[in-house]
Chain A
Amino acid sequence: GAVVSQHPSWVICKSGTSVKIECRSLDFQATTMFWYRQFPKQSLMLMATSNEGSKATYEQGVEKDKFLINHASLTLSTLTVTSAHPEDSSFYICSAERGDYGYTFGSGTRLTVV
């Protein structure tokens, strides 16, 4: 139980284009989901908290107009990287909290902007 599915696993896009990453809770409802970014050999850095039916809460230094988050249902949150640039290349991970399982994480999305 407590599975979070993240899609796509990896994506390559051209500089200036936008990329959407999906995060789904498969067997539970997630009122709140979290989005992280991880650069090579670094820890996970929280980007934003996604709340179903309301605006996301962004961490300091994260551009909300660049990283658009939509949490339209209790099982789906999306992160859209707009006008992507090479410095946005990273490993993006979502998570959701569910009872005794603590925080369940998606498998991550490797974004490469060329």
Chain B
Amino acid sequence: DAKTTQPTSMDCAEGRAANLPCNHSTISGNEYVYWYRQIHSQGPQYIIHGLKNNETNEMASLIITEDRKSSTLILPHATLRDTAVYYCIVGYSGGYQKVTFGTGTKLQVIP
């Protein structure tokens, strides 16, 4: 079973920030939180990952709660091209552990 739970779908107005939540209450101390997105008929694309601290890169920001039981992916200025299914997964870095995908969140960016 997936270790994460996410809302099934969300809408966001173009140009606004998209905030995608994820619950991972059973996360282990050394497991990272990874975010990927999948645009229709393509392989998943890496977005960002983090362990404890908040992270930011050119694509998004990742906010992880202090207890690490949940996180939020933030797309600061959503565009139509950000319409995709966003997956939050937890796993060990470098451990070659298999990962299980949940249902993800279908983000629809609206013009």
- Rounded to whole Å, the gap between the CB of A18 and the closest CB of chain B is 23
Of residues 74 through 111 on chain B, the ones whose CB sits less than 8 Å from some CB of chain A are: 87, 91, 93-96, 98-104
Q: Which of B41, B99, B102, B104 contacts A103 (CB 8 A)?
A: B99
Q: Is B29 an interface residue (CB 8 A)?
A: no
Mask of B32-50 contacts with A, CB within 8 angstroms, 1/0: 1010101001111110010
Q: Is A25 an interface residue (CB 8 A)?
A: no
* Chain B residue contacts of A107, Cβ below 8 A: 42-43
- CB pair A46 B46 closer than 8 Å: no
- How far is it, in angstroms, between the C-alpha of A66 and the C-alpha of B4 when the chains are bound? 30
Question: Interface size of B by Cβ–Cβ distance < 8 Å?
Answer: 24
Chain B contact surface mostly: loop
Q: Which of A31, A46, A97 has the most CB of B within 10 A?
A: A97
Q: Which of B34, B45, B46 has the most CB of A within 10 A?
A: B46
- How far is it, in angstroms, between the C-alpha of A31 and the C-alpha of B94 when the chains are bound? 11
- Nearest CB to that of A101 among chain B residues? B46
Mask of A37-62 contacts with B, CB within 8 angstroms, 1/0: 00000011110010000000000000
- 6 A-B pairs besides A34-B99, A93-B44, A105-B36 with CB distance below 8 A are A2-B46, A32-B96, A99-B94, A105-B45, A107-B42, A107-B43
